[in-house]
Amino acid sequence: MPIDSRLQTFETTWVPRLNAPLADAIAADSGDDRLAEAMSYSVLAGGKRLRPLLTVATMQTLGATFTADRDWRPVMALELLHTYSLIHDDLPAMDNDALRRGEPTNHMKFGAGMATLAGDGLLTLAFQWLTATALPVSTQAALVQALAVAAGPHGMVAGQAKDIQNEHVDLPMDRLRVLHREKTGALLHYAVQAGLILAGTPQAQWSSYIQFADAFGLAFQIYDDILDVVSTPAELGKATQKDAGEAKNTYPGKLGLAGANQALIKTIAQGQAALQTVPTAVDTDLLAAFFSYFDTKRVK
C-alpha cells in the first residue's frame, strides 16, 4: 500500500519546516561544543519526524494555526525526547546497537559517556523547550505534565524496564500490550495529546482522538516488529532480525507473521473507527492517512 498522497504532501511541506531551525536552536541552548555536537548528531541523522508531524496534523484537524515563533519549540520538544530514548536504547548497557537512522549510533561515534550525556541533554532540553514559548503558562504546564507522564516512570521508562526484565520470559498477550503501550504507545499518545492541548480543545472532546492515537501506537509497534523480521538494515537504517535472537516478546514471535499482520489490520481498523466518531464537521482524513505508514501487504 503506497503512502497516502495527502500524508505525502503534508510531510513534504512540514518536515523541512520543522527541521530548518534545529541545528542552530540546539547549538544555542548548549554550553559545551562537543555535547552540542553529540546531541545534534543524532537529532539531525534523519528520522521521519513522525511524532511532531502527528502533533501538527492534530492541530490542523482541529483548526488551530501553527505559529512558528510560539509553537515550534513546544512541538519539537517531543522529537528531542524521542531521540534521547533512541540514544539510550542503543547504549551497550541496553540494546548495544551500532546503527541508527542509517548512521553509527551515538556511542559508536562519541563514546558511551558522551552518548549518555547527549541523551540526558536532549531529555532535559525537551522540557525547557515546552516552556520557551509565548504560549499561556497554563498551556505550558499542561504540556509539561502530559509529557512527563508519557515519557517517565509511568510511561516509556516503565515499558523499557519491562522490556529488559522480560527478554527471556514468555509474556502473555495482555502484558505484552501493556509493555507496548508504555514503551512505544505513550509518546505517540502524547503527540496527539499535545496537538489537542495546543489547539485548546476541551478535554470532554479528546476521547476519539486519544483512541485513534492509542490504536496508532499499538499498530506502530506491531509493524516495527514485523519489519524486524521481513526487512533489511539497508531499508530501515538499523539492525534487523534482532528480536528473535534476543528472545524478545513480539507479536510476530507470539502469533507468527500472518497472525501479527492480522492483529495489525484489526488495530488499524479500530483506529479508523475511532476517527469516525468525531463530529462530522471535522475532517479527519489527514489523521486517517497516517495509517498508510503501515504496509499490510509486506506479509504475503
Give contact residues for ligand GRG (rule: CB under 6 A).
Answer: 47-48, 50, 85-86, 88-89, 101, 156-157, 160, 183-184, 221, 224
Q: In this complex, which beta carbon is closest to ligand GRG, that of residue 135 or of residue 222?
A: 222
- Nearest distance in Å: CB 213, ligand GRG: 14
The 8-class DSSP code of residue 293 comes to G
Distance between first and last Cα of the chain: 13
- Nearest distance in Å: CB 147, ligand GRG: 13
**Which residues make beta-bridge pairs with 104?**
99
**Which residues make beta-bridge pairs with 103?**
100
Rounded CA-CA distance 3/39 in Å is: 30
- Nearest distance in Å: CB 300, ligand GRG: 23
Q: In this complex, which beta carbon is closest to ligand GRG, that of residue 4 or of residue 224?
A: 224
- Measured in residues, the chain has a length of 300
8 Å CB contact between 99 and 46: no
- Nearest distance in Å: CB 205, ligand GRG: 27
Rounded CA-CA distance 221/214 in Å is: 11
* Residue in the structure block whose three cell numbers are 534482532: 242
- Nearest distance in Å: CB 264, ligand GRG: 14
Q: Give the residue at shortest CB distance from ligand GRG.
A: 47
Residue 73 is placed in which grid cell?
519549540
Q: In this complex, which beta carbon is closest to ligand GRG, that of residue 72 or of residue 223?
A: 223
The shares of helix, strand and coil residues in the chain, as percent rounded to the nearest 5, are 70, 0, 25
Q: In this complex, which beta carbon is closest to ligand GRG, that of residue 45 or of residue 59?
A: 45
8 Å CB contact between 296 and 264: yes
Q: In this complex, which beta carbon is closest to ligand GRG, that of residue 205 or of residue 240?
A: 240
Q: In this complex, which beta carbon is closest to ligand GRG, that of residue 3 or of residue 273?
A: 3
- Nearest distance in Å: CB 221, ligand GRG: 6
